[in-house]
């Protein structure tokens, strides 16, 4: 029997965290959570999750961006796929969702809130199935 994959949700919206946690657990994932960037980094170091769902706007409007860059700078965390889940396009009235890049926004994928549950599960499954082996990222 294979061990359940662990997913870390870092988001300050408790209702979002609860609903996504319940959804992911229903699909057999182990879920750990953090309500801010500092706690998220600490939890990532402790839990070594297989995937991170990371919000952008928490204590600051860019906290998620800062956390993503810090994750990529820590050797033992660098290979964790990061799915950025955000409502910033609507909240900040941006023209479009920003795109990942290796310096400014080093995440693997971005989904805008609200997220359809079926789409979230499909993306999580896709990202976990393509996770690099041996802790190396292709950047």
Is pLDDT above 50 for 54?
yes
**What pLDDT does 61 receive?**
81
**What pLDDT does 87 receive?**
67
- pTM for the whole structure: 0.84
Across 69-91, average pLDDT: 85
Domains of the chain: 6-131 (3.40.50.2300)
Tell me how far apart the alpha carbons of residues 118 and 19 are, in angstroms, rounded to a whole number. Answer: 13
């Amino acid at each position: 029997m294979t061990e359940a994959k662990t997913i870390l949700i870092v988001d300050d919206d408790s209702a979002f965290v609860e609903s996504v946690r319940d959804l992911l657990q229903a699909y057999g994932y182990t879920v750990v959570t953090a309500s801010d960037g500092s706690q998220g980094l600490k939890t990532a170091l402790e839990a070594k999750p297989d995937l991170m769902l990371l919000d952008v706007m928490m204590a600051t409007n860019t906290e998620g961006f800062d956390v993503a860059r810090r994750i990529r700078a820590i050797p033992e965390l660098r290979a964790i796929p990061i799915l950025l889940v955000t409502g910033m396009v609507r909240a900040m009235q941006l023209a479009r969702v920003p795109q990942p890049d290796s310096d400014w926004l080093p995440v693997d994928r971005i989904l805008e809130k609200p997220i359809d549950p079926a789409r979230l599960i499909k993306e999580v499954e896709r990202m976990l199935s393509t996770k690099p082996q041996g802790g190396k990222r292709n950047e």
